[in-house]
């Protein structure tokens, strides 16, 4: 008996007519094997950037830029339609809704030009247009291969809250809508082709799940229809042990646990959107990461638990362009509320903290933020603690930048003796100084901070541990 599968295709997988044909052939082949298939698609690669660039240009009154971007988007989609061989009614069926979306873009940009600002809601309305165009092309590519396919706007299926630019799915409502919009198509052996990245509020206002959110959409749809697996198609063979642009001898991982994948995604691995894991984890649905352009490769399977090969280590990654912010002073010793006030001040700037480390003496606390946010964060902290600074209870609030967070991930780290010793020993042997450490909050990762010039060497040395096993 076949499985119920969700196949999600990223921007490079639908970036041209040739890529769409490859994606369509994969879907045809999987369905021909007896599986029920729902497809989730991204916008064509680069189109979302052009759309959002148009919105920001409109705010600045740069009408010519809007016209140029709109023309480029139109040309991309019309060229794809030509190469797909669409003629007559089929061509109108695809290009008419695309033309309507481009008209919508023009109207939205006119409004933004008048207002002189772009709200998160407006940016969602603009940013969602890419998927709402590409979905028609991919559905047409499927129909040309004899697959009965229907373009489905996720605004009719994925219900979210109204947190524009980073909407949260409301899964019970989404499951109810999916039962109406998607399950009948699957039961009829037809393929719904669903727009990734977007959803809608209960009032029908379009939202987006955040950049890269089409992966998230794939997992949301998978959870909503009780899929057996979700397959995320990208342009690499799966999750690598490290970034092949930086490290020699990288390997494709056969399997990862949900927790391992979450850590790798959060700490910089670009293969999977960090939020993708949660809907799949809650429903116990495996995720398989595969290569559109090498479809016979098995890819990487993300499951509840995985083999702890490699001596407990699975992958190593890095977050670059970080600043290490330090609050230090003998007057902090034993004073309650310092950390709460510090992170409250950071939160009010809208800045995310990626790592925290505190001395047991309570005389200092340090944390990592994006380098571009460091000045704003330090100003906020100095305002918050201006009395303590005057009294010298806090002696210094400063930043060290640029630095890099290097994270080594493996499900057995917490329960395998000697892993930390191997990690720090490998770096020490190569003369690499570790500036800060975070370990223990996650059972499957060790994060450490090094100076930016030491980042590539650090990642390579830790990757050597993984390969050595």
The CATH number of the domain where 101 resides is what? 3.40.1160.10
Does residue 442 lie in a domain region? no
Classify 128 as helix, strand or coil.
coil
At 440 the pLDDT is 65
Local structure of 86: helix, strand or coil: coil
Taking alpha carbons only, the member of 251, 356, 259 closest to residue 304 is: 259
Residue 260 lies in a domain: no
Are 445 and 409 in contact by the 8 Å Cβ rule? The answer is: yes
Asked if 302 and 289 touch (Cβ cutoff 8 Å), the reply is: yes
Strand partners, 355: 368
Q: Is the residue at 242 inside a domain?
A: no
Query: What is the pLDDT at residue 305?
Result: 66
| Burial letters 56-77, b for 16+ CB under 10 A, else e | bbbbeebeebbeebbeebbebb
Parent domain of 46:
4-235
Q: What distance in Å separates the CA atoms of residue 145 and residue 162, rounded to the nearest whole number?
A: 39
Round to whole Å and give the CA distance between 388 and 382: 9
Phi (first) and psi of residue 463, to 5 degrees? -65, -35
pLDDT in tens, the chain (469 residues): 799 999 999 999 999 999 999 999 999 999 999 999 999 999 999 999 999 999 999 999 999 999 999 999 999 999 999 999 999 888 999 999 999 999 999 999 999 999 999 999 999 999 999 999 999 999 999 999 999 999 999 999 999 999 999 999 999 999 999 999 999 999 999 999 999 999 999 999 999 998 878 899 999 999 999 999 999 999 889 998 998 888 999 999 999 988 888 888 777 666 777 788 889 889 999 999 999 999 999 999 999 765 554 457 899 999 999 999 999 988 887 778 888 999 999 999 999 999 998 876 668 899 999 999 999 999 999 999 999 999 999 999 999 999 999 999 987 677 777 888 899 999 999 999 999 998 866 678 899 999 999 999 999 999 998 888 6
Tell me the longest C-alpha to C-alpha distance in the chain. 79
Question: What pLDDT was estimated at residue 258?
Answer: 86
- Asked, for residue 97, whether it belongs to a domain, the answer is yes
Please check whether residue 20 lies inside any domain of the structure: yes
Q: How many domains does the chain have?
A: 1
- Structural domain includes residue 184: yes
Amino acid 309: pLDDT? 47
In a domain, 19, yes or no: yes
Q: What are phi and psi for residue 15, nearest 5 degrees?
A: -80, -10
Cβ count within 10 A of residue 196 = 32
pLDDT of residue 157: 98
In a domain, 119, yes or no: yes
Q: What is the dihedral of CA 143, 287, 354, 241, to 10 degrees?
A: -100
């Amino acid at each position: 008996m076949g499985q119920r599968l969700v196949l999600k295709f990223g921007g490079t997988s639908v970036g041209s007519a040739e890529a769409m044909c490859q994606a369509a052939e994969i879907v045809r082949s999987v369905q021909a094997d007896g599986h029920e298939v729902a497809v989730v698609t991204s916008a064509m690669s680069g189109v979302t950037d052009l759309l959002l660039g148009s919105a920001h240009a409109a705010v600045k009154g740069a009408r010519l830029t809007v016209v140029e971007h709109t023309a480029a988007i139109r040309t991309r989609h019309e060229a794809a339609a030509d190469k797909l061989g669409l003629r007559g009614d089929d061509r109108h069926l695809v290009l008419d809704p695309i033309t309507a979306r481009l008209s919508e873009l023009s109207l939205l940009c006119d409004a933004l030009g008048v207002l002189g600002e772009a709200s998160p809601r407006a940016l969602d309305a603009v940013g969602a247009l890419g998927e709402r165009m590409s979905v028609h092309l991919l559905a047409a590519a499927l129909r040309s291969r004899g697959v009965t396919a229907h373009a489905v706007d996720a605004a009719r299926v994925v219900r979210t809250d109204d947190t524009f630019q980073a909407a949260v799915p409301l899964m019970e409502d989404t499951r109810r809508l999916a039962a109406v919009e998607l399950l009948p198509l699957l039961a009829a052996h037809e393929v719904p082709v669903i727009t990734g990245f977007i959803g809608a509020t209960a009032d029908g206002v379009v939202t987006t799940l955040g950049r890269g959110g089409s992966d998230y959409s794939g997992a949301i749809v998978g959870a909503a229809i009780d899929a057996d697996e979700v397959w995320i198609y990208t342009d690499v063979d799966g999750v690598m042990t490290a970034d092949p642009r930086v490290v020699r001898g990288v390997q494709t991982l056969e399997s990862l646990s949900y927790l391992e994948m979450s850590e790798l995604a959060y700490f910089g691995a670009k293969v999977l959107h960090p939020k993708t894991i949660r809907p799949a984890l809650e429903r116990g649905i495996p995720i398989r990461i595969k290569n559109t352009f090498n479809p016979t490769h098995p890819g990487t399977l993300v499951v509840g638990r995985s083999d702890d090969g490699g001596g407990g280590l699975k992958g190593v990654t890095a977050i670059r362009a970080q600043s290490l912010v330090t609050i230090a002073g003998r007057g902090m010793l034993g004073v309650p509320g310092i950390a709460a006030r510090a992170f409250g001040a950071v939160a009010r700037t809208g800045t995310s903290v990626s790592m925290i480390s505190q001395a047991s003496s309570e005389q200092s606390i340090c944390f990592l933020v994006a380098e571009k946010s460091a000045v704003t964060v330090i100003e906020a902290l100095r305002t918050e603690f201006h009395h303590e600074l005057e009294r010298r209870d806090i002696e210094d609030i400063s930043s060290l930048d640029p630095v890099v967070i290097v994270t080594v991930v493996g499900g057995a780290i917490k329960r395998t003796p000697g892993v930390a010793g191997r990690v720090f020993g490998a770096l020490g042997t190569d003369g690499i100084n570790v500036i800060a450490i975070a370990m223990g909050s996650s059972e499957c990762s060790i994060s450490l901070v090094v100076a930016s010039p030491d980042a590539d060497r650090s990642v390579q040395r830790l990757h050597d541990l993984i390969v050595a096993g």
